[in-house]
Structure 1
């Protein structure tokens, strides 16, 4: 497939083996997408409408929920359309855009989780300096950094991919992935810069992971000394650790399988591995924060009780 030709398309083959159950999958996927939107929009609106929640931790949670909506919207509408179509095709430009959304969604999530860890570190380990460090201006800059860094990084990745001459058109997944598009390049195509920049991007977010580990080493060390700090840790850090664990586990499994996994696994299992980071964190995050964070839980209980009256 020459990437200078007109009418370029990719074929997503991941749905093939489950096509006999497309109506059931469509209904379940649509329901799950609606539930995901409802949970995340609910948390966003609860925080926006309550000025008592205008604190860094809750602002970062809003950013996490917005990113969940962004990422799932990059996947579900196209997937639902594919379930109703006889052919699962996507244009070359649409495929690059979807690949950009998927990668940037995952990396924005990691950046925000790193900021949440930093926020908890300041709140528990440096409480006297918390408000001087976490000012509105600094918080705004950090949130912008968390969004713009992945966007800029993967814009370069996608630009490098777009210059390649491709000799294949089949993507064995439910959605487009930049690394798989690169592997479709013709043998004579130079993919060295794509590979180098991909590993640089991975290194950036591995460093995010080491930063999170560093903050939690200090958090655990500090909380071991004080009962009040242990209570604060359980109330605010456990939801973050749950979000972090589910997200990192899902992403690592997908990355490892995409590079080293066997194609002998059933297609349905391959599909689940590939979309786990889109299925689990966007629903788990608003649930765990809504149930665990006292201020949000109290606000939900108030709204539910007020509506009943």
Structure 2
């Protein structure tokens, strides 16, 4: 094992040696133009071709799976007359749309960088990716928060559910999600341009994530503080709303069976399942908030010095790739968690691929099963 580690370290030094030598030498202007900075930065992140080939397959599969699962679920919900009016599925369609935009915004670009063995260049497309990714993240956070509140109203205030979530209020909620997210993105984008951008240079990552963009824009302090503060506040509100809603639902479900001296195991398992899934959903945000906190505590200079070492760059590259994978996973599983896991959505997808002629007795059976399903707690 030690011999293998030494060989791998030697291979890394052999491949990145020319890049390090060019960095510390003063070459001619023509040499600097011909120097592939993006390729060298890519080698510092991932020096092993075998790992790159595996990552190409992983990101390609995640992109295809996300678009396929989200696309079919959105199509099934759109063609179902029974589900089109329900608030939970309207919010689910909003979440699916945001996930598809996020997948298109990240998946193809990461795969292209892996195939080209080069990092992204800082240009207009890079800024567009940064803006779109920021907007999608806030849409996801706000939508998940509203979905938890909707479930709370459905279970704990069932009598007033339809009078509270009217079609008009539902449309206003969905519209507010996009308006608020785009407004936050525009504010961050405006504050970001207080600095002077280094356009045309290679970045140190496979996507234009906030730290990379701020670095190439000269570290505008107002943009960095606003982004970190707003992101922390929205993540905290999402967590508090989610846990408040599901704890209250669990309490109501537990109180319903207290007279019978039994435990509502189904309600407890449902709460644990959704809490675990929301933790997985917000795990990239937790990692980002942690890295932002470390950045503020250590200082920009200390962090840049730490990233200058080859070993540390390899570790930073591993963290960068892990974060990208974590960002790509939730769009793949969101339709399964909030949609396909539900019997009504499965039936809608099943009818989507079935022939159009349906038997009346099957429709009566689906209506009965749907009524029994709606009578369940937390499902």
What is the TM-score when the length of structure 2 is the normalising length?
Answer: 0.68
Q: Mark the structure with the bigger radius of gyration.
A: 2
Segments of 5+ residues of structure 1 without an aligned counterpart are: 1-9
Shift, 1:127, TM fit: 0.5
Are 1:278 and 2:327 counterparts? yes
Indicate the RMSD between aligned Cα atoms, in angstroms: 3.2
2:341 & 2:147 partners in 1: Cα distance? 15
Contact 2:60-2:111 at 8 Å conserved across structures: yes
Contact 1:108-1:147 at 8 Å conserved across structures: yes
* Other-structure match for 1:247: 281
- Indicate how the Cα distance of structure 1 residues 140 and 11 shifts in structure 2: closer, same or farther if over 3 A, else same: farther
Q: How many pairs are equivalent?
A: 295
2:272 & 2:289 partners in 1: Cα distance? 26
| Match of residue 26, structure 1, among 56, 63, 83 | 56
| Match of residue 66, structure 2, among 17, 20, 36 | 36
* Other-structure match for 1:294: 343
* Other-structure match for 1:5: none
1:166 & 1:277 partners in 2: Cα distance? 29
Are 1:181 and 2:213 counterparts? yes
| Match of residue 80, structure 2, among 50, 55, 79 | 50
Shift, 1:76, TM fit: 1.4
Shift, 1:203, TM fit: 4.4
Are 1:105 and 2:136 counterparts? yes
| Match of residue 210, structure 1, among 231, 240, 262 | 240
- Within a 5 Å distance, the mapping from 1:193-208 to structure 2 comes to 193-205=222-234, 206-208=236-238
Contact 1:14-1:271 at 8 Å conserved across structures: no
1:114 & 1:289 partners in 2: Cα distance? 13
Shift, 1:112, TM fit: 0.5
1:133 & 1:236 partners in 2: Cα distance? 25
| Match of residue 176, structure 2, among 131, 142, 145 | 145
* Other-structure match for 1:256: 290
Shift, 1:300, TM fit: 3.6
Shift, 1:131, TM fit: 0.2
- Within a 5 Å distance, the mapping from 1:50-69 to structure 2 comes to 50-54=80-84, 55-69=86-100
Segments of 5+ residues of structure 2 without an aligned counterpart are: 1-36, 258-263, 296-305, 357-379
Contact 1:250-1:276 at 8 Å conserved across structures: no
Contact 1:74-1:101 at 8 Å conserved across structures: yes
- Indicate how the Cα distance of structure 1 residues 127 and 141 shifts in structure 2: closer, same or farther if over 3 A, else same: same
- Indicate how the Cα distance of structure 1 residues 208 and 48 shifts in structure 2: closer, same or farther if over 3 A, else same: same
| Match of residue 160, structure 1, among 175, 184, 191 | 191
| Match of residue 129, structure 1, among 152, 157, 160 | 160
* Other-structure match for 1:4: none
What is the TM-score when the length of structure 1 is the normalising length?
Answer: 0.82
Describe the SS at the equivalent of 1:225. Answer: helix
* Other-structure match for 2:116: 85
2:229 & 2:316 partners in 1: Cα distance? 31
- Indicate how the Cα distance of structure 1 residues 160 and 271 shifts in structure 2: closer, same or farther if over 3 A, else same: same
Q: Deviations over 1:67-117 (max 9, x none)?
A: 110001111122222223254332422221111122221111110000100
- Indicate how the Cα distance of structure 1 residues 19 and 89 shifts in structure 2: closer, same or farther if over 3 A, else same: farther
Shift, 1:177, TM fit: 1.8
Describe the SS at the equivalent of 2:46. Answer: helix
Contact 1:235-1:293 at 8 Å conserved across structures: no
